[in-house]
Structures are given as C-alpha cells and as structure tokens.
C-alpha cells in the first residue's frame, strides 16, 4: 500500500481543520520507522542528538557531519512523516552562504525542511535559505544553542514584555519566510498570544496546548534518556531504558549460568551427521586447553 507523504500543505490542512500535528524527535532508523508506522506527522532530527545519542553535555558539541549520519537514517525510514533537520551550532550563523550550504546538505540527504534557532538576528539567514528554495522552521523561546546567554535551561516569555519580544522575533521570522515556528519552554498564555498574531504554523515543546501541534523528544517520552534533565512538560509513555537494562542483566545471568543458549537456539543437523561429529570429538585429539589467563577483577 502506498503511504501519503506529509507536506507543508498537509500541515496547513491540519491547522485549517483545527487538528493537532503530532511531532517527535528521532535520530535512528528503528525509532523513525516505529514513529512513522504509528502515524506521526513530523519528525525532527534534533541537534539534541548530541545529548540523547552521543552523551555530550549540550547541543553545542555536535557538527554537520554527525547530524548527517542521523538524518540519513531517519529519512530512509520516514515514508509518511515530514522530516526536519536541525541545523547545528555554527552551521548557519556565520554567513548566508554557510546557511544555504548546510541546509542544502540536509535537503540532499532527504530532509523536507530545516530548523534553525533565533529570531530577528537570524532572519537574514532564514531569508537566504528560503530564497534558495528550502522550507525553514524557526525556533524561539528556550534556544539551547544560546544556553550561555540564557543562563541555563530556563522558561522564556514569562512577562508581557518578554512575550512581546518573542512576538517581535516571531514576526521577523515570518517576514523572512519561515513556514512554521517552534516555541520551546514558554508559558501556555504566551504561546497563545504569539500564535494568535501570526499567519504561520506554530508548534510547541513545553508551550502548552494552544499551538498547532506538539513536539516531544522521543528519549524523554520513551524513558531512555541517560542524564539528569527532566523537563516538567514531559509525559512518560514507556520505560525503555529500565527494560533494556533489565534485559541485559537477564541475558548476562543466563550466559553466566549456562542456560543460554538452550537447545532451541542451536542449529539442528541430521542425527547421523551429529553422531559422526560426536564420535570424532571423542576419538580425535583436541588442541590442549588454552593456558590459564591472568586473574581479572570481579564482575560488577
């Protein structure tokens, strides 16, 4: 059966019908396949891969080439979902040409759109990418590539003045040609204030219900993020990390106890051949056992 690919027009249609878009991050082929089969509308290959997949301390340490590995895996999997590649730190800020080349590499790797962080100060880069024919999503509110300036993972847009600043940035992005804006970690009322004043699609991650769709980092909802960050806006739908660790412990215990592999995990052969090989094992001289290895520390 052929699967309909989500486009910008599909997303606009959802908004027109007052239906919420379902948006998750994914970085690898299996997760993107499961998300796609589950019918999610959009997949972000986020630079959060730095933390979720590579164990790095922030998103600032991932580069374009590493992102491209994740992007190729996800675009290979996504038959239905609209795939957005997240431009990493310094892949678009330096110049219009850098932005077009970086975004172009993501599109060549199969992305339907790219995302970049910031408002008025990146508007010129957004315009350059849009003029090159690339669909761009803006990202405002908590923008982790500016963590130093923001002073940490803090909720943004908490006062009317801050909400108005957010709106001015959103309007600059809209004028520059973005098809959508993602608001991260802002109060629900602020997100509603911004969305009601824009013509473009507005999605949220930790921005409350009054937006056109919800994004969540898949590791947060699936319970397989290894780290201490646990945002208030995350709802857990699975305990993948706990289950994976339990499975590895059970496997280790089975191997050490000699109960894995069992007969059902061994390849059967013709009984006559089996008898001949068994007899040969007994009659032919085996190699002497390996010399004893040095003592090792006890296992954990």
Catalytically active residues, by annotation: 184
Does position 46 bind ligand KIV by CB under 6 A? yes
Q: How far is the CB of 8 from ligand KIV (least distance, A)?
A: 19
| Number of residues near ligand KIV (by CB under 6 A) | 12
What are 83's two structure tokens? 């795939």
**β-sheet bridge partners, residue 23:** 42, 215
Stretch that binds ligand KIV, among 42-50, 219-227, 237-245, 285-293 (CB under 6 A): 42-50
Q: How far is CA 123 from CA 91, 135, 177, 187, 277, in A?
A: 15, 14, 9, 24, 74
The residue (of 171 and 184) whose beta carbon lies closer to ligand KIV is 184
Is residue 47 a contact point for ligand KIV (CB under 6 A)? yes
Cα separations (Å) of 227 from 56, 140, 142? 10, 24, 19
Of 84, 172, 217, 222, the residue at the interface with ligand KIV (CB under 6 A) is 217
Nearby residues of 32 by Cβ (< 8 Å), 6 or more positions away: 26, 43, 73, 74, 76, 77, 78, 81
DSSP assignment of 230-291 equals --TT------HHHHHHHHHHHHHHHHHHT-SS-GGGSPP--HHHHHHHHHHHHHSPPPPPPP
Tell me the sheet residues that pair with 141.
Answer: 184
Q: Which of 25, 156 has the CB closer to ligand KIV? A: 25
Alpha-carbon distance of 35 to 38, in angstroms, equals 5
Q: Of 40-48, 76-84, 106-114, 158-166, which part binds ligand KIV (CB under 6 A)?
A: 40-48
The verdict on 86 binding ligand KIV (CB under 6 A) reads yes
Considering beta carbons, is residue 148 or 263 the nearer one to ligand KIV?
148
**Sites for ligand KIV among residues 177-216 (CB under 6 A):** 182, 184, 205, 215
With binding defined as CB under 6 A, does residue 48 bind ligand KIV?
Answer: yes
Residues at the site binding ligand KIV, with contacts judged by CB under 6 A: 25, 44, 46-48, 59, 86, 182, 184, 205, 215, 217
């Amino acid at each position: 059966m052929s699967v309909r690919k989500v486009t910008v027009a599909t997303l606009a249609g959802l908004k027109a019908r007052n239906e919420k878009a379902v948006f998750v991050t994914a970085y690898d082929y299996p997760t993107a396949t499961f998300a796609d089969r589950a019918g999610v509308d959009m997949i972000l290959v986020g630079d959060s891969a730095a933390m979720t997949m590579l164990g790095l301390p922030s998103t600032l340490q991932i580069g374009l080439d590493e992102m491209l590995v994740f992007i190729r895996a996800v675009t290979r999997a996504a038959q239905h979902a609209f795939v957005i590649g997240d431009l990493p730190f310094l892949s678009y800020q330096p110049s219009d040409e850098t932005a077009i080349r970086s975004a172009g590499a993501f599109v060549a790797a199969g992305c339907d759109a790219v995302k970049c962080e910031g408002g008025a100060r990146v508007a010129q880069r957004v315009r350059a990418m849009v003029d090159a024919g690339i669909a761009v999503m803006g990202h405002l509110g908590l923008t982790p590539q500016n963590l130093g300036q923001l002073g940490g993972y803090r909720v943004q847009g908490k006062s009317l003045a801050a909400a108005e600043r957010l709106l001015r940035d959103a309007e600059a992005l809209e004028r520059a040609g973005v098809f959508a804006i993602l608001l991260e970690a802002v109060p629900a009322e602020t997100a509603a204030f911004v969305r009601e004043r824009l013509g473009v699609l507005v999605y949220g991650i930790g921005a409350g219900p009054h937006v056109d769709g919800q994004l969540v980092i898949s590791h947060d909802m699936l319970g397989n993020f290894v780290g201490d960050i646990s945002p208030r806006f995350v709802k857990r739908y699975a305990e993948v990390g706990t289950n994976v660790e339990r499975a590895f412990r059970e496997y280790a215990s089975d191997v050490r106890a000699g109960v894995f592999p069992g007969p059902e995990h061994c390849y059967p052969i013709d009984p006559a051949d089996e008898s001949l090989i068994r007899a040969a094992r007994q009659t032919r001289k085996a190699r002497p056992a390996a010399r004893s290895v040095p003592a090792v520390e006890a296992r954990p």
